[in-house]
């Protein structure tokens, strides 16, 4: 009988996982710290061009309750911008996904049309603003520009996603006598969906980038970008910052919504990438 050797203690202290509450508490603390530092700076600098959070809050209250210099409320501006983003972004997804699927499934189609697609892809949507101002007005102008900003990220990630379809999964369909449509619906789309969602989140970022630029430029009376320009011309920094923060907040919320959809849709994956 061999004596059992003493087990050597090798397992390190397990790292205690943080609870959601703890994480939330740390986030609140970071936020408060940043705001405090900001406030402190503004007091030290004492400049009308470096307002502290207190002045941002009062500018926010003023814009939200009484509206801006042109009489439009902050919510009107925000809603108009959101609408433009949703329409343009929606169009980008409606066009980008099928285009990516088609060219991913028929790589020859992509290979022989690259000379048309690729140069377009590298024209920033902002470079389209002058033409958009000439050709369109109102919602179509913004929808067009945002579409240009959203369609390519969605298209490209869908295209790349199709290449990730496992040949064995396709073969499972083929040997069981599946039609091309069945394979598209039950093999290709489930495989590509995570890439589509990832592309949508990138596209959404570009969409926000574009909307503000387009609103800054265009001779139009509403939209968060417009509101910011109006106040910048009056040298009212707090109101400009309200616009900036609201844009950040709305973009963040939209991204969170997409993330929640991903979490729900992709329970079959190990983890959801950020």
Partner 1 sequence: MTIAKHADTPTMQRPKVEVDTSHRYGPLLVHEHIKFDVYANEFICICGPSGCGKTTLLDTLAGILKPTRGQVLIDGAPADPKRQSISFVFQEPSTFPWLTVRQNVATGLAIRSAAKAEIDRKVDEIINVVGLRGAEGYYPYQISGGMKQRVAIARAFATDADLILMDEPFVSLDQPTRERMQQEVLDIWRHRKRTVIFVTHNLEEAVFLGDRIIVLSNKPGRVIADIAVRMPRPRDPVSPEFMELRAQCMHLLHPPAR
Determine if 264 is a binding residue for partner 1 (CB under 8 A).
no
CA 208 – CA 205 distance, rounded (Å): 5
Among 139, 178, 217, 259, binds partner 1 (CB under 8 A): 178
Interface size with partner 1, residues (CB under 8 A):
20
**Among the residue ranges 31-39, 122-130, 182-190, 201-209, the one whose residues contact partner 1 (CB under 8 A):** 182-190
Cβ-based neighbour number of residue 124 at 10 Å: 14
Determine if 181 is a binding residue for partner 1 (CB under 8 A).
no
Closer Cβ to partner 1, 57 or 163, answer by number: 163
Determine if 184 is a binding residue for partner 1 (CB under 8 A).
no
Closer Cβ to partner 1, 189 or 232, answer by number: 189
Determine if 185 is a binding residue for partner 1 (CB under 8 A).
no
Q: For residue 61, give Cα distances in angstroms to 21, 66, 121.
A: 30, 8, 41
- Per the CB < 8 A criterion, the answer to whether 64 and 75 are in contact is yes
Task: Return all residues near 224 (Cβ < 8 A) that are at least 6 apart.
Answer: 77, 78, 81, 211, 212, 215, 243, 246, 247
Closer Cβ to partner 1, 174 or 213, answer by number: 174
Closer Cβ to partner 1, 62 or 191, answer by number: 191
Select from 148, 258, 264, 267 the least CA-distant residue to 214: 148
Binding footprint of partner 1 on the chain (CB under 8 A): 168-169, 171-178, 182, 186-187, 190-191, 266-270
């Amino acid at each position: 009988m061999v004596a059992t050797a003493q087990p050597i203690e090798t397992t390190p202290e397990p790292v205690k996982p943080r609870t959601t509450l703890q994480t939330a508490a740390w986030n609140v603390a970071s936020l408060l710290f940043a705001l405090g530092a900001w406030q402190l700076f503004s007091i030290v600098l004492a400049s009308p061009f470096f307002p502290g959070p207190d002045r941002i809050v009062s500018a926010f209250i003023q814009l939200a309750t009484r509206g801006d210099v042109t009489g439009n409320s902050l919510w009107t501006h925000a809603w108009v911008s959101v609408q433009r983003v949703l329409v343009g972004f929606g169009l980008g997804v409606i066009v980008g996904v099928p285009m990516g699927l088609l060219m991913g499934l028929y790589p020859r189609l992509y290979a022989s049309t690259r000379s048309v697609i690729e140069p377009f892809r590298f024209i920033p949507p902002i470079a389209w603003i002058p033409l958009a101002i000439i050709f369109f007005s109102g919602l179509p102008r913004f929808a067009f520009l945002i579409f240009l900003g959203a369609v390519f990220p969605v298209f490209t990630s869908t295209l790349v996603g199709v290449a990730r379809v496992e040949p064995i999964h396709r073969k499972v369909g083929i040997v069981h006598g599946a039609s091309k449509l069945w394979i598209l619906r039950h093999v290709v789309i489930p495989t590509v969906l995570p890439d589509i969602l990832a592309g949508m989140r990138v596209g959404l970022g570009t969409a926000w980038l574009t909307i503000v630029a387009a609103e800054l430029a265009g001779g139009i009376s509403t939209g968060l970008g417009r509101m910011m320009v109006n106040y910048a011309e009056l040298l009212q920094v707090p109101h400009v910052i309200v616009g900036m923060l609201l844009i950040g907040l709305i973009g963040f919320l939209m991204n969170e919504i997409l993330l929640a959809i991903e979490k729900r849709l992709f329970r079959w994956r190990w983890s959801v990438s950020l």
